Amino acid sequence: MEVALGAGTSDLVRFALDDGVALITIDNPPVNVTSQAVRAGLMAALDAADEAQVSRIVLTGAGTAFVAGADAREFDAPPQPPHLPDIIDRIEASDVPVVAAINGVALGGGLELTLGCAARVAAPTARLGLPEVTLGVIPGAGGTQRLPRLIGFGEAVAMISEGRIIAAEKALQIGLIDALDDDPVAAANALVLPDRPATGALPAPVLDCAATSAAQKGAAKRAKGQIAPLKAIELIEAATQLPLDQGLALERQTFLDLKTSDQAAALRHVFFAERSAMARGRKGGDEITEAVVVGGGTMGSAIAYALAQQSVRVTLVETDDAGAARARDTVAGLYDQAVQRGKIAPEAAEQALARNHSFQAGYDSLPAAQIAIEAVFEDLGVKREVFAALDAALPRTTILATNTSYLDPNSIADGLRDPARFLGLHFFSPAHLMKLVEVIRAQDTAPETLATVLRLTRRMGKIAVPAGVCDGFIGNRILTRYRQICDVMLIEGAMPAQIDAAMREFGMAMGPYEVQDLSGLDIAHANRQRLNWAARPDIRYIPIADRIVEETGRLGRKTGAGWYDYDEGKPLPSALIEGIVTQESERAGITRRAFTDAEIVDRATTAMFDEGLRILDEGIADSAADIDLVLIHGYGFPRWRGGPMHYAERQGQSALLKRIETYSEADPVTWTVPGVLRRLVADGDGLKTLMGDA
Ligand code: 3H9
């Protein structure tokens, strides 16, 4: 029997009575987060249960989730009562046993709610965890104190410091839940309660120094620079010493401090930016089942493999039989890797290769695919020939996509029967692993074309960022500017190793010169030639990189040397390169000066922001959050800094304007003040208005 809760409560929490048992259902779609209204509803439901003098309370979630945690959208504001810890304390102290019926994900505050309960039953499909550190906070409603009491120090410290989410079966094995059942509500009703005290009254966990040091090492590797995992480890250690109430108070204070930290703000920003990006794939479009990929190199093969993982049948086109056979080997190699990593059984891999892939030379008898993706050599003439052939061989409705990184998609599309079904799909290598794809709107791309492609990329689990046409689109355009600023710092006094170390310390996955050595110096060289940088009045041309390519033939790791010398793979500063750098300073009449690491980071990140602002202002990117996603997922920008736009925005627009003005006074060619920034500061509008962020 459903009972209405008191006035002032929303219907986000439902209350029903059945044979002396109260069923409390949290119904806050899509994932039942514990917003203020839910918390108020829970308190009202507990009041109603008291009043009805029930013998048991069963707590569950509506839909497919139990509770995904606290509502992260509320984290920017001061916490509003009733607070989750108070609800959990009340549940734990209740004379009437409360049993959690975990019907789906129980994460963060959701799992903490269940830890206050007398017992937990979960559906086999449920997943459980305290992933707070991935949002830059720690469990703030008892997780660091109760979980180690329940499952032991070692399991708890690993789970919480990594933010690891586990399957229900594993949860049963480690004692986190008491039973598994397809119908957790019925099972929670019937469960014989375990004979043990409330979780908070269990003996303090026993410190395990080896587990602590493994967790600290893991955090240093996986989450370098991040505060939350280390704080979480400290709190779990504190649980071994402090009585529950003191441990909880310490945890609460730490949670509240971290909640307002820069790192938490950055990680929340990225979390919501990713959700918005994925949501684009839910806006219509057709389902793709049959694709053609042209070009069986590393990129084309990986794209074909990634498509096939979503049961798309892929025909890979090469120029001749030998090329088609090579492409087959490359794709088979990707399946082998998956087998080696235990992701797929050998027979299943063989079947998938046979079922989902075919390889052919030329364009005869192609299937009527819904999409064709070109991944051939980066040459306008070659690409145009490919599209002319595809246009002739495929139905008029087939979407045609180019995987170019730098060429103008509008020129590639020139001459097509129907340019409305043409666009760019800029995958990042290795395409089956990298989550980012830039989806390039060419001048005639139709909205339906975009919708179908975004639906496909969502299915592939990709973070798809739409972008307009400009040189390098979003990511490579910002990369070019970043590298250019670094080269300016080289000629003015820094050395590659210092810049790399400073950017790595900031959190970039690699420094800019290390990356060039890895990817090859010839690509950027060819781009500078193509854009005629040496003769451009709007660019302060620094000849160092071109001299390295042209005079020394050092193209990076593939030639055994580049910006660095290599000793058995270990990069070492090169006297030859440092000589070229100082020679160029002299030639330009520059007295070299020292740069601090902080200045290097400021200049590099301000340059990325400056270029990003122009990209936004030109309408190339749809939002600042999208730019952040591109840099984080494609270029190693630290997630916990939120991306270059978010990172800059936290510094304040006036400070940024002043900084760029100062740089520009000294070097007006490299630095011009973006008009849009002046406008924002003059109007007193926050950068957020321009950024249109979540
Ligand atoms: C916490 O609990 C702190 C406590 O310890 C202390 C409290 C005092 N908040 O990902 P999806 C939205 S910290 C607000 O697309 P899926 C999401 O934005 C929290 N909104 O679906 C999206 O909205 P929209 C600890 C949230 O099926 C929609 O739900 N918990 C939150 O792929 C669907 O999400 C976590 O860190 C949230 N916490 O995956 C869990 N979570 O439809 C974070 C989701 O408007 N969440 N939304 O775009 C997840 O890992 C995944 O969202 C989940 C579902 C696995 C739940």
Q: What is the pLDDT of residue 694?
A: 39
Pick the residue whose CA is nearest to atom 51 on ligand 1.
68
Q: What is the rounded distance in angstroms from the CA atom of residue 317 to the CA atom of residue 324?
A: 7
Q: Give the nearest ligand 1 atom to 130 CA.
A: 25
Q: Which fold has domain 2-260?
A: 2-enoyl-CoA Hydratase; Chain A, domain 1 (3.90.226)
Strands 399-402 and 422-427 come out as parallel
Q: What is the rounded distance in angstroms from the CA atom of residue 63 to the CA atom of residue 76?
A: 27
- 496-544 per-position pLDDT tens digit: 999 999 999 999 999 999 999 999 999 889 989 988 998 998 889 999 9
Q: How far is the CA of 453 from the centre of ligand 1 (A)?
A: 25
**What superfamily does domain 290-467 belong to in CATH?**
NAD(P)-binding Rossmann-like Domain (3.40.50.720)
Residue 112 annotated among the catalytic residues of the structure = yes
The preferred substitution site among 113, 275, 276, 462 for testing ligand 1, maximizing ligand atoms within 8 Å of CB, is 275
Pick the residue whose CA is nearest to atom 50 on ligand 1.
68
Across residues 128-154, what is the average pLDDT? 98
| Catalytic hit among 51, 74, 92, 112 | 112
- 263-293 per-position pLDDT tens digit: 999 999 999 999 999 999 898 899 999 999 9
The torsion angles phi and psi of 557, rounded to 5 degrees, stand at -55, -35
pLDDT band at 1 (very low <50, low <70, confident <90, very high): confident
CA distances from 61 to 4, 8, 67, 170, 184 (A): 17, 21, 6, 21, 11
What are the structure tokens assigned to 528, written together?
């500078």
Q: What is the pLDDT of residue 686?
A: 66
Across residues 60-72, what is the average pLDDT? 97
Q: How far is the CA of 94 from the centre of ligand 1 (A)?
A: 28
What proportion of the chain, given as a percentage, has pLDDT over 70?
98
What are the structure tokens assigned to 187, written together?
């099972």
Average pLDDT score over the chain: 95
Reported ipTM = 0.99
Q: Give the nearest ligand 1 atom to 69 CA.
A: 2
List strands edge to edge, sheet with 179-180: 2-3, 13-18, 21-26, 56-61, 98-102, 119-122, 179-180
Q: Is the peptide bond before 82 cis (omega within 30 degrees of 0)?
A: yes
Q: Which fold has domain 475-595?
A: N-(1-d-carboxylethyl)-l-norvaline Dehydrogenase; domain 2 (1.10.1040)
| Catalytic hit among 51, 74, 92, 132 | 132
Rounded to 10 degrees, the C-alpha dihedral 672/598/520/613 comes to -30
Residue 665 annotated among the catalytic residues of the structure = no
- 376-393 per-position pLDDT tens digit: 988 999 999 999 999 999
Looking up tokens 């504001």 gives: 77
CA distances from 207 to 152, 171, 173, 180, 476 (A): 9, 21, 21, 29, 49
Q: Inter-axis angle of helices 597-617 and 475-492, to 10 degrees?
A: 150
Q: Which helix (H) or strand (E) holds 339?
A: helix 321-340
- 70-79 per-position pLDDT tens digit: 999 999 999 9
Ligand 1 pocket by Cβ (under 6 Å): 30-31, 33, 68-73, 84, 105, 107-109, 112, 131-132, 135, 139-141, 143, 255, 272, 275, 278-279
Q: What is the rounded distance in angstroms from the CA atom of residue 306 to the CA atom of residue 319?
A: 22
Q: What is the pLDDT of residue 6?
A: 65
Q: What is the rounded distance in angstroms from the CA atom of residue 611 to the CA atom of residue 623?
A: 13
Q: Do the beta carbons of residue 370 and residue 398 sit within 8 Å?
A: yes
Burial 568-600 (b: 16+ CB within 10 A, else e): eeebeebeebeebbbebbeeeeeeeeebeeeeb
The domain ranges of the chain are: 2-260, 290-467, 475-595
Across residues 193-210, what is the average pLDDT? 95
Q: How far is the CA of 550 from the centre of ligand 1 (A)?
A: 52
pLDDT at 689 over 70: no
DSSP state of 591: -
> For 332-341, 468-477, 521-530, 577-586, which range has the lowest pLDDT when averaged over its residues?
521-530
pTM for the full predicted model: 0.95
Q: Give the nearest ligand 1 atom to 276 CA.
A: 48
- Amino acid letter, 33: V
pLDDT at 9 over 70: no
Q: Give the nearest ligand 1 atom to 279 CA.
A: 48
Across residues 598-617, what is the average pLDDT? 97
CA distances from 186 to 27, 45, 102, 122, 179 (A): 18, 19, 11, 11, 12
- 388-435 per-position pLDDT tens digit: 999 999 999 999 999 998 899 999 999 999 999 999 999 999 999 999
What are the structure tokens assigned to 294, written together?
């042209």
Across residues 656-668, what is the average pLDDT? 96
Q: Do the beta carbons of residue 640 and residue 229 sit within 8 Å?
A: no
The torsion angles phi and psi of 147, rounded to 5 degrees, stand at -60, -50
Q: How far is the CA of 130 from the centre of ligand 1 (A)?
A: 12
Q: What is the pLDDT of residue 8?
A: 59
pLDDT at 569 over 50: yes
Q: What is the pLDDT of residue 10?
A: 73
Looking up tokens 């103008």 gives: 408
> For 220-234, 436-450, 574-588, 678-692, which range has the lowest pLDDT when averaged over its residues?
678-692
pLDDT band at 312 (very low <50, low <70, confident <90, very high): very high
Q: What is the rounded distance in angstroms from the CA atom of residue 63 to the CA atom of residue 29?
A: 8
pLDDT at 25 over 90: yes
Q: How far is the CA of 122 from the centre of ligand 1 (A)?
A: 19
Sorted by sequence, the CB contacts under 8 Å of residue 261 that are 6+ apart come out as 136, 227
